[in-house]
Structure 1
């Protein structure tokens, strides 16, 4: 038996090997496409990228034809370099540099010599392409932006780098790929599928026809069209309101988590990143370290939330049972606490309950509520961890999971935070009471603030914010339809919402009312410091406003952050009211607010941080009509911070 076993195994293995070789060489000859690579040329057909539409079906991003000049270095023969360069408007030095770069990539394989020629440039060169051996055209599809806003949402397309080509077999040198925004998040769907044609060449390297009558050719498949959740009208309106300002606006539909507007300021026209000037324009934007137009403040900027955070302070105190709607706190326009520090308050004074505490934004009330929450437990570390858990149930202090490729977590402190800050211990509720009014160690992004208000509007639950509404033939990711429930009981939201409603009727936003729309909102003013010449300088505060409307069956939740904007009801508040009315009514009745905001420029304040960059001067899209309305903002006195006192977070 043993004598038979070994010969049998050898015979079986040999038979399998011979059969496999026969199959590969005789039956399946696809490998010949690789083995005969010198005699077979691949020609790629690039599909159109998928179109982008807004939530109402308005076309936002389409495509336009573009042409790349490709080069195969070893096939380049005697070339009239002078004529070649004149046709393409490049220098001889550029020509030599591009040829050498192509040789480094591969002498045998095609690479991009000059990209993104428009139709007129292509037509001029096409007539003489036959004179330049080794060069040919590759037709591609570039973006054609139907709007001049939303650059931070769309992202852009650019050529792949060699590292990605080596990593991902789909891409070849010169291919385009989505970067930032929706282009990056949904690249696999938007890019489509390339088509391939195999061309037979003779021994003189001349094309003689299709290989095997096109047996292995494939056709290009266009990318998928997608509908975004964005409302184009309020996106455009939000960007107009933010001209000559810096900050972010995020609007969300509470019932679905769909992002209605995602504004960052300053912004730029997405069309400047298309064509042969795209690299120069991108470099200018990228190098602008002053205004950072490529920095999406709605997703990336982390700010102290200021008084809007009092909403959560009140909810946690209600949940923990340390206050109820009738709990009274006495405010004497100042709340003293341990270590000789002082938390200032503003004009109301007297005895306050929760409702008045909200619409008058009383620091004393919420500082008391916060300390009662922390003091409920014998160990401050345990208490702050419980408080932190409540905060995180609103999506704070963590990446939110939305379908855009960039973001920041913000910060919700816990016991580990204070162990690092106070390694010797000794901290207690009075030490960290600034958290109660959205200062201290608390940081939030505008999208987190907007999601917080969507959660309040829903009385305790939210859906992960997202930018995709519909992709034909594909299901939306289930995580965007999954309800997230907070740790706060639903019953505690009603008194909070009642207080937010009277912010517009009796409180800090009563001058921002819109007749016929019941808006619930909260003003905020957050301290702001900057280093100028190595000195920590107190700058104009950030202006913050959060809101949702209508009060019953809310359709929109919004957060507005204006850097160095001052008091929350001065700039951020009017913007929120205008955005809400624009979305709900598609028109504006508060023309007085609109004129004031459109005419407001904060550039004199930003000049204190280093002036205006040339890129911002070039790229800010300010129409003549808006310029005529512009008013000059008085110079703001800059004071050096000499105390550690807590400012009113109104």
Structure 2
């Protein structure tokens, strides 16, 4: 019995000893990570940041690429600088900059390397590389800088900058580290995960002075960095730059779409800026300059600016009324009793004629017919029922909701419904007379230029659309996100578009578009509009597509303070259409006209602050936030009283 116990005890301790020996063998012989940890003083782990994916246009032209540069890193506890002024002269920085950079590095970590100076060019690197061996604690790391081939499309392409502390905390997983670049806006932000690639790691041997002596174990443990995926866009880069040139000295937007796919051909936000300004190590100063510009070049107008659609909305009204049966193609209306005037006389004999001449009284009656459905016995209840049906139909055009474009910060706009007016006026306390401004695209309606370009694409397609998107392929061509392959139907019968489109063709050829803006041999279907603006001159709008019978391009042009859509916005849109379809500009007269037009609004300089008064007893500032709020622009004009073209 005693021998059995002794055998069990010996066996137990033998097994434990064997387990420890096996574990020790694994750690010291098989497991390289232990070997690396135990050799911390001689083996260095280097993280390799991959190149971001490049961005191309629809024809394979490079729009955004990477330029190799070098970053200078510092490890504070190792850093030794004997002559600070000489060091500053070497790097071309000020002494206070040196102090602030060292303080920031020490606050991050005294033992870990962190960013000291970003984006040294190859020339700067070559100039100081040998000298930097005299400054322990400083080391170079290969990096890259986003580079843009032309000063165009800045807001849509976006920019990258150092990741913020808040973004580090919110990240999923632990991919990003302090000092990493991160897509902050535009495509760079929307497709960040696809563009960033995958990190690599390599292990190198170094001596006590930190000099690299070669790779560890011939690179057996190294992992290669994988570059980010390239983005292929539907943008026509030449067309984009041409559209930019037409919007010089103007504030507004141009959005052109390929109707059959939803791919965006050009997307202009004016005024524009050179995206290279936010790609250098002088990011902070350049960003501040752009942010303080009173014309707001950082504001991405195609997806963020909101306008009343004005008379361009009449095409939606006509289609919705035709679908509901409230009118027919030949319905005529009298102007009697209508609180709106028609442009150039009576044009209320048919839908095409009303669209061609943008007849306000006609669409007043169209909207009234939809809301009341010929039931005037209870105007309050009829208005509620009619508006609900109208709202549901208009919403199918993408009005009042986000379309889902592949850009961040898309504004959904405003499409008022029954609940909205119940809150404003009270339940059963409003009727058509309270909301009739919606009939001509005014009132509480708010849209973005992207939405109106999409409306043009819907009409071009005779009733459907694909969500507008810039990127047509990720990693390879013709590989967009799945949601951009879905066809969205508006529920409007095709025959009704064949009623409205002749009126749009008439608007361009013999209606509200100036004669000079017509394009030879290209039949354009379009609609002009004027959007009321309480802060100055009205905004000019034009939507259209071409060729009318086989559309290849749909477009919306917005020119702030341009007043008349047929005079200010239509020439811009039609020149873009001509350039896209013909590959050249033949209508030099209208091109010269629009290139020399300046619609930039006057913006008064901010009111100067009053001087600070000091005395021996107290300190008092005379300038206050209230005083700043009261500062108003010098230039003011009355709001447009009769929305027109």
CA distance in 2, matches of 1:33, 1:413: 65
Q: Which runs of structure 2 are paired with 1:409-448 in the superposition (5 Å)?
A: 409-423=412-426, 425-448=428-451
| Deviations, residues 7-66 of structure 1 (Å, cap 9, x unaligned) | xxx99xx99x98999867764443665676566422233332222211011122222111
Is it true that 1:391 corresponds to 2:398 in the alignment? no
Equivalent position of 2:589 in the other structure: 592
Equivalent position of 2:264 in the other structure: 259
Q: Which runs of structure 2 are paired with 1:371-520 in the superposition (5 Å)?
A: 371-376=368-373, 378-423=381-426, 425-473=428-476, 475-509=479-513, 511=515, 512-520=517-525
Query: Which of 162, 172, 179 is the aligned partner of 1:174?
Result: 179
Query: Which of 352, 356, 363 is the aligned partner of 2:360?
Result: 363
Q: Are 1:343 and 1:646, in contact at CA under 8 Å, matched by a contact in 2?
A: no
Q: Which runs of structure 2 are paired with 1:142-541 in the superposition (5 Å)?
A: 142-166=145-169, 167=171, 168-200=173-205, 207=212, 209-288=214-293, 290-331=294-335, 336=338, 342-349=339-346, 351-376=348-373, 378-423=381-426, 425-473=428-476, 475-509=479-513, 511=515, 512-530=517-535, 539-541=536-538
Equivalent position of 1:617 in the other structure: none
Query: Which of 592, 599, 603 is the aligned partner of 1:602?
Result: 599
CA distance in 1, matches of 2:23, 2:487: 54
CA distance in 2, matches of 1:320, 1:154: 41
CA distance in 1, matches of 2:285, 2:124: 19
CA distance in 2, matches of 1:461, 1:126: 60
CA distance in 1, matches of 2:224, 2:543: 51
Q: Secondary structure at the match of 2:265?
A: strand
TM-score by length of 1: 0.86
Query: Which of 35, 48, 52 is the aligned partner of 2:51?
Result: 48
Q: Are 1:46 and 1:141, in contact at CA under 8 Å, matched by a contact in 2?
A: no
Q: Secondary structure at the match of 1:412?
A: coil
CA distance in 1, matches of 2:488, 2:552: 18
Q: Secondary structure at the match of 1:330?
A: coil
Q: Are 2:236 and 2:266, in contact at CA under 8 Å, matched by a contact in 1?
A: yes
Q: How far off its partner does 1:406 sit?
A: 2.5
Larger mean CA deviation between 542-551 and 393-402 belongs to 393-402
CA RMSD of aligned residues (A): 2.8
CA distance in 2, matches of 1:423, 1:367: 23
Q: How far off its partner does 1:143 sit?
A: 1.8
Q: How far off its partner does 1:388 sit?
A: 1.0
Q: Secondary structure at the match of 2:340?
A: strand
Q: Alpha carbons of 1:611 and 1:554: their partners in 2 closer, same or farther (altered >3 Å)?
A: farther
| Deviations, residues 218-249 of structure 1 (Å, cap 9, x unaligned) | 12222222221101111101111111110000
Q: How far off its partner does 1:212 sit?
A: 3.8
Q: Secondary structure at the match of 2:555?
A: strand
| Deviations, residues 284-330 of structure 1 (Å, cap 9, x unaligned) | 11222x20001011111010000010001111111111100111112
TM-score by length of 2: 0.87
Q: Secondary structure at the match of 1:317?
A: helix
CA distance in 1, matches of 2:385, 2:28: 71
Q: Are 2:253 and 2:269, in contact at CA under 8 Å, matched by a contact in 1?
A: yes
Q: Are 2:248 and 2:595, in contact at CA under 8 Å, matched by a contact in 1?
A: yes
| Deviations, residues 564-587 of structure 1 (Å, cap 9, x unaligned) | 111111110100110100100011
Higher Cα radius of gyration: 2
CA distance in 1, matches of 2:350, 2:361: 11
Q: How far off its partner does 1:105 sit?
A: 0.6
CA distance in 1, matches of 2:548, 2:329: 19
Q: Secondary structure at the match of 1:259?
A: strand
Q: Are 2:352 and 2:501, in contact at CA under 8 Å, matched by a contact in 1?
A: no
Unaligned runs of 5+ in 1: 1-9, 337-341, 531-538, 614-635
Q: How far off its partner does 1:436 sit?
A: 1.0
CA distance in 2, matches of 1:207, 1:123: 18
Q: Are 1:344 and 1:648, in contact at CA under 8 Å, matched by a contact in 2?
A: no
Q: Are 1:446 and 1:559, in contact at CA under 8 Å, matched by a contact in 2?
A: yes
Q: Are 1:291 and 1:612, in contact at CA under 8 Å, matched by a contact in 2?
A: no
